[in-house]
Structure 1
Amino acid sequence: MSDLIDTFIARGDLAHLALLLWAGAASFALWFALRELAAAARRFDDFVRELEAFNRRAGPPWRACDPARHTSNRTIR
């Protein structure tokens, strides 16, 4: 690696070396961000599937409670 850097310095292509390093760092940052975004999407998908499974096991919300027990559902006359 040192020989490569010495070659760039001897030929005066230091700007090209800097551009290459910048492009490599930018590409790595983009790859890392996309990888994390994909992982977050997978985690969210897993969460939604677990929530759906929980709701299927728990049943519909209108069967979970007895309307006669709750005073908020009674009509005031």
Structure 2
Amino acid sequence: MDEIIATVLAKGDLAHVALFLWAGGASAVALMLLKELSAANRRFNTFVTEIAHLNRLFRDKD
């Protein structure tokens, strides 16, 4: 790991490292948001299914 840091510092590619860290962070946030969106979609689907079940239950009582 020290060799990599020394090479980056020797060549002056600090801007590339910063860009890589920014892109990696942005990708991680996007992945987290997609995961949360998927979970919210599953919860909403469960809610709609339960509402449909209640509607069937009340419709059958008449």
RMSD (Å), alpha carbons:
1.8
Per mean C-alpha deviation after superposition, the further-off stretch among 17-26 and 30-39 is 30-39
TM (norm. structure 2) is 0.84
Runs (4+) of structure 1 moved beyond 6 Å? none
TM (norm. structure 1) is 0.70
CA distance in 1: counterparts of 2:42 and 2:15, whole angstroms? 41
Which has the greater radius of gyration?
1
CA distance in 2: counterparts of 1:5 and 1:26, whole angstroms? 22
Letter in 1 for 2:25: A
Secondary structure of the 1:37 match is helix
Structure 2 spans left out of the alignment, 5+ residues: none
CA distance in 2: counterparts of 1:6 and 1:58, whole angstroms? 72
Q: Percent identity?
A: 48
Q: Determine which structure has the larger helix proportion and give its number.
A: 2
Q: How many residue pairs were aligned?
A: 62
